[in-house]
Amino acid sequence: MGALMPRFADPGTERAFVEGERSGRGRAIRALILVGIATLLSYIVLNPMHFPREGVIAYTGGATLLMALLAGFFALTRTRFYLENSWTDVPAFLLLAAGIAALTAALNGQATVTGFPPHAMALVQMGILIVFASVLFAGTFRLFLLSAFLLAAGFAGWLTLHTDAPGIARIYTLTNFSTFFIFALYFNWDIERRAREVFAANRALEAERAKTEELLYNVLPQEVAARLRAGEAVADSFSDVTVVFVDLVDFSSLAKRLSPGHLVQLLNACFSEADRCAERHGLEKVKTIGDAYLAVAGGMASRPAGAGDAIAFARDLVAALRGLAEESGIDLRARVGAHTGPVVGGVIGSRRLAYDYWGDTMNVASRLQGAAPPGGIAVSEATYFQTKALLAYRAETHVLKGIGEVATYVADLGEAASATPRARNPG
């Protein structure tokens, strides 16, 4: 953005700034137009007390033309066309200049009554026009600069041809107009410069806010983030959630054999695959715990998903880890446990916020992964009955720590279910 001729390098940014500036300054422009119309009306009322009849008619005609032009510009500033087409400032300015010139001619005809010689009256009217134009050109300093120079050249030419005024009077008139001219240019330039700085700062702030929100939504569901902003305590109850607990097999042994950097890289690759699988099947990643990955189907950010989606995620992840193992040459397998039941979800604490889940369903899922074979999936009876049409299972019985003896169903990943698959019943 140049210092003397400010403009954003990106055309889209420049267009957004100009439209915003014209929209924001529209109210001030319209207020100034109303002041101008009110001033002209007051003179129309007062003139009959001082002007002869022909002078009143001449002024009223010129003032009416100028008020009509002002009213037209007032209406234009309320349109979308005005906001999107900054070039409209130039013809509007030229029309207003023509209107003011007609009004000046009418007033010059009454110089003996007003006591203003023609060059002085012209100076006043051109000064009013150039100051008004410094507000009229919103976000278009380059166009204002061009228009102002055209007006200055036209006024200087008129003074040169106006031989009735003494030379010194014409020089002082032009010098005084130059003061108006420079003031108006600086005023318009400075307003635009400051507006562009504010616009750029707001754009940068919006970009940072978007980044912050993106990071926030990576941690918290959007609905939860909105509730936290509103000052609400976030606590929810879910009656039918499928919890999937994934744990890498023999990861402690890998940690001893691999360098720390290689280990982290490998773990990141595994969990990145899990993230992709979760997104593909509509599951909600809850968190990672060391070398374990926890996801849910049917929770706050995954309510359309169900037990079938959870099993599809588990199968997809097991296959993805198999491919990763072949690619890396390292034995990468996971045990997956899944259980369906009620949970409580919410956000606690004030730092490093995360939407978490609690309840016995979570504990059962974490214990079930221990019952799964390496590279396999073990589910509870509740999950089995919801997914038995999707996958073949074999029934087993396991004693889970802290829970006791439970019926467990291990997915037979070598046997994809047919169109009407039958799972093996327990016993």
- 3-state DSSP call for residue 138? coil
Asked if residue 421 belongs to a domain, the reply is no
In a domain, 5, yes or no: no
- The answer on 330 and 208 residing in a single domain is no
Residue 418 has a pLDDT of 32
- Picking from 168, 183, 212, the residue at the C-terminal end of a domain is 212
**Structural domain total, the chain:** 2
Give yes or no: residues 167 and 37 share one domain.
Answer: yes
315 has a pLDDT exceeding 80 = yes
- Tokens representing 37 are 């119309």
**Residues 365 and 288 placed together within one structural domain of the fold:** yes
Residue 365 lies in a domain: yes
How far is residue 365's CA from residue 362's CA, in Å, rounded to a whole number? 5
Instruction: Say yes or no: 290 and 393 in one domain.
Output: yes
Whether residue 201 sits in one domain with residue 242: no
User: Domain of 380?
Assistant: 233-416
Question: Are 126 and 182 found together in one domain?
Answer: yes
Residues 411 and 278 in one domain: yes
How far out from the chain centre does Cα 92 lie? Answer: 33
Q: Answer yes or no: is 200 within a domain.
A: yes
b/e burial code for range 187-202 (CB count within 10 A of at least 16 → b): ebbebbeebbeebeee
Question: What would you report as the CA-atom Rg of the chain, rounded to the nearest whole angstrom?
Answer: 39
Beta strand extents in 178-282 (DSSP E only): 235-248
Residue 415 has pLDDT above 60, yes or no: no
Asked if 126 and 59 sit in the same domain, the reply is yes
What pLDDT sits at residue 252? 87
**pLDDT (0 to 100) of residue 2:** 56
Among residues 212, 243, 277, which one ends one of the domains? Answer: 212
**426 falls within a domain:** no
Dist. CA 17–CA 139, nearest whole Å: 7
> Residue 215 has what pLDDT?
78
Mean pLDDT over 65-79 rounds to 94
Q: Quick check: is 2 in a domain?
A: no
Helix ranges (H only) for 47-166 are 53-76, 80-84, 89-108, 111-114, 118-136, 141-161
Q: What is the pLDDT of residue 3?
A: 62
Cα separation of 283 and 225, whole Å?
Answer: 19
- The C-alpha atoms of residue 280 and residue 271 are separated, in whole angstroms, by 14
- The CATH number of the domain holding residue 382 is 3.30.70.1230
Q: What is the pTM of this model?
A: 0.60
Residue 104 resides in a domain: yes
- pLDDT of res. 362: 95
Q: Tell whether 383 and 271 lie within a shared domain.
A: yes
- Do 239 and 283 lie in one domain? The reply is yes
141 and 19 belong to one structural domain:
yes
Say how far apart CA 352 and CA 187 lie, in whole Å. 49
* Residue 312 CA: distances (Å) to CA of 29, 280, 282, 338: 62, 10, 10, 11
Residues 6+ apart with CB under 8 A from 284: 221, 278, 295, 296, 297, 299, 300, 301, 302, 305
> What percentage of the chain exceeds 90 in pLDDT?
68
Say what the pLDDT of residue 419 is. 32
> Looking at residues 273-295, what average pLDDT do you find?
94
In a domain, 58, yes or no: yes
Name the average pLDDT for the chain: 89
Model pLDDT for residues 351-398, shown as the tens digit of each residue: 778 899 999 999 999 999 999 999 999 999 999 999 999 999 999 999
pLDDT band, residue 420 (cuts 50/70/90):
very low
- Residue 53 shares a structural domain with residue 189: yes
**Alpha-carbon distance 121 to 123, whole Å?**
5
CA distance 427 to 267: 39
Q: Which two tokens stand for residue 307?
A: 């037990």
